[in-house]
Chains A and B, each alone.
Chain A
Amino acid sequence: MLIKTNTGLRSSEVTDEVIFQERRDSLRLIGGIMALGVAGVAKGGTVDQAASMARQDALAASNERLTREQDIAHYNNYYEFSFYKAPPSELAQAMQVEPWVLEVGGLVENPLTLSIDDLLRLFPPEEQIRRIRCVEGWSGVVPWLGFPLFHLLKKASPLSFGKFVKFTSVMQPETMPNQRDQKMLPWPYVEGLRLDEAMHPLAMLAVGMYGKKLLNQNGAPIRLVIPWKYGFKSIKAIVKIEVTDSLPLTSWNQVAPKDYGFYANVNPEVPHPRWSQATERPLGSAFYSPRRKTELFNGYAEEVAHLYAGMDLRQLF
């Protein structure tokens, strides 16, 4: 599992009551996902146990603590709903997430139109614990449920001159106040990756977290998780994935290109024009606890650094 393996954490620290409870939850979670229509993983308890054991091992091997689910669920950057962190957890309940159609198109051989049930059948979700680091300087460790993006892309089969992947979020002005009032960003929200980035096994499409379906405020029903990039790259509520031959114009990059680059790789050595990125504040951390040192590529350098070989990360931030 790919959380960083910097040791220094006693296993007693991660095997506390909360984590144990989360293990129990994770057993239930997989049950829930199966109820969503995943017949393929239905091998009974052994798979569930394997998943929770894997989580246990991953946490024990790293010096990480899982972020509390309540913190991840009530501290959200979801600008379609609100510019504050707390309101989306309530406002997003009005969102329509069923039925949902995900289109995969652009420069591909087999354009696809899939429901969430189709996706779950084709790509059985697995639990992956990933670090998330926001460009604002806070971070978390989240057990996502999802599948690698390249599985879906391979099925659509990008054409040889496809170079980028563009992701488009849902347009739902009737439930999203800031879309209705056309505030701040050009809606719908758009993100993008280079095709080789999108094909990396760490690039994930998530449908759940903490053993349950994704909550609306966390990007239901399907979102991107790119753990080595700042959180705004991990677009929520995706309706369209297109392979393109030119660099997609992404939302934050369009509004403030000097502040938010296309790559947005986590990098402590490249400060934001107005603030340092050297350290981060893990969500839910106690008063007087030191800030965490931010790592290059958010700790996933070993896996992804080769994608950027020879690139000036200060220029292409």
Chain B
Amino acid sequence: MMKMLPPLLYAYISVLRKQQKTIDYAQYGLKSPWLIGLIETFSEAFNLCLLISFFPLLILMVLIMTDDLGGNPIEAFHLHTGIWTLRFLCITLLVTPIQVMTKWRGMAHFRQLFGLMTFFYAAVHVYGYLAIDQAWVWSSIFRDISETTYIWWGLFCFFVLALLALTSSKPAKKAMGKSWKKLHRWIYPASVAAVLHYLLQLKGNLADPLLYGLLITFLLLFRVLVWLKDRKVTRLMIPKRPPVEEEKVPVEETH
């Protein structure tokens, strides 16, 4: 299964799985404990991912400060935050397939990290709409939402992401038991809604949303395939028995 993965992905996963080794920093002439601490922190894949996840926000900040968002900066803000929400959503949905294909366990905290980053960018996106664009004019906001159907899909996606973010912690997972998995499966319809939200606002240029639509389709198809396979295996494991005739229970007549 591993050999099916592109070499770069393989290398990256190998790094993720590697045990931390103690490195003799003095050998490289490094003495500052602060610098060593920094290297130690970000040589851990999780921390590095956390750091990199904020780059799109940083880029946006720079574009805002240098007035480089073009003729319609508010629209550019919406696009930037919206697209990065979709990208993080795809990355989040990619964690489980990687886990299944490599048969490695213990990547749940990466899935949680990227899931929370998805919610983070979605929240910035929603803030951009309410504050930066609509300037909190509620009458305008209500009318706009009531007449703008593509916002409904976005709102649905945002509420699902918010619920999942709220219940993403380990204690919440424990407390919710079986219903946690059920709830977090709502990410599938939410990801379809996110693509629709992107697709339906455009006049004709559909290439970009269709690309994300294709990506999400593959990611969801993977789950369907796994589900089908599991079902087959389960059926094979259960020994076939002749159907047991149900005992007839006399029904008491009630008057």
Contacts and interface: CB of A to CB of B under 8 A. Distances in A.
Interface of A: 70-72, 74-75, 79, 83-86, 135-136, 138, 184-185, 255-256, 259, 271, 273-279, 281, 283-285, 287-291
A291 B140 contact: yes
A75 B71 contact: yes
Nearest to B147: A276
Contacts of A291: 133-135, 137, 140
| Max count, chain B CB within 10 A of own CB: residue among A70, A185, A276, A284 | A276
B50 interface: no
| Max count, chain A CB within 10 A of own CB: residue among B64, B133, B143 | B133
A71 B143 contact: no
A252 to B, nearest CB: 8
Contacts of A275: 147-150, 201
Contacts of A273: 149
A70 B72 CA distance: 11
Chain A interface helix/strand/loop/mixed: loop
A271 B149 CA distance: 10
B203 A136 contact: yes
A290 B135 contact: yes
A138 B135 CA distance: 16
A284 B76 CA distance: 11
A279 B137 CA distance: 12
Given A274-B150, A288-B131, A291-B135, 18 more contacts: A70-B71, A75-B71, A83-B204, A84-B205, A86-B70, A256-B204, A274-B148, A274-B201, A276-B144, A276-B147, A277-B147, A278-B144, A281-B72, A281-B74, A281-B75, A281-B133, A284-B71, A290-B140
B143 to A, nearest CB: 5
B204 A85 contact: no
Interface in B202-227: 203-205, 207
Chain B interface helix/strand/loop/mixed: helix
B71 A74 contact: yes
B91 interface: no
Contact of B132 (A86, A256, A283, A287): A287
Contacts of B203: 135-136, 259
12 contacts: A79-B204, A136-B203, A184-B204, A271-B148, A277-B147, A284-B72, A284-B73, A287-B64, A287-B74, A287-B132, A290-B140, A291-B137
Nearest to B69: A287
Interface residues of B, number: 28
B45 interface: no
A85 B144 contact: no
Interface string B81-102: 0000000000000000000000
A276 B143 contact: yes
Contacts of B70: 71, 74-75, 85-86
A291 B149 CA distance: 19
Nearest to A75: B71
B199 to A, nearest CB: 10
A72 to B, nearest CB: 7
Contacts of B143: 276, 278
Contact of B72 (A138, A276, A279, A289): A138
Given A274-B200, A291-B140, A285 B71 contact: no
| Max count, chain A CB within 10 A of own CB: residue among B73, B144, B203 | B203
B64 to A, nearest CB: 8
Interface string B169-185: 00000000000000000
A291 B200 CA distance: 21
A136 B144 CA distance: 13
A285 B75 CA distance: 10
A185 B205 CA distance: 11
A290 B64 CA distance: 18
Contacts of A184: 204-205
| Max count, chain B CB within 10 A of own CB: residue among A84, A287, A289 | A287
B211 to A, nearest CB: 13
A275 B201 CA distance: 7
Contacts of A290: 134-135, 137, 140
Contacts of B150: 274-275
A71 B71 contact: yes
Contacts of B140: 278-279, 290-291
A294 to B, nearest CB: 11
Contacts of B73: 284-285, 287
| Max count, chain B CB within 10 A of own CB: residue among A83, A184, A277 | A83
Contact of B71 (A72, A185, A274): A72
B144 A274 contact: no
Question: A-B pairs with the 10 shortest C-beta distances?
Answer: A75-B71, A83-B205, A276-B147, A71-B71, A290-B135, A271-B147, A275-B148, A287-B132, A276-B144, A276-B148
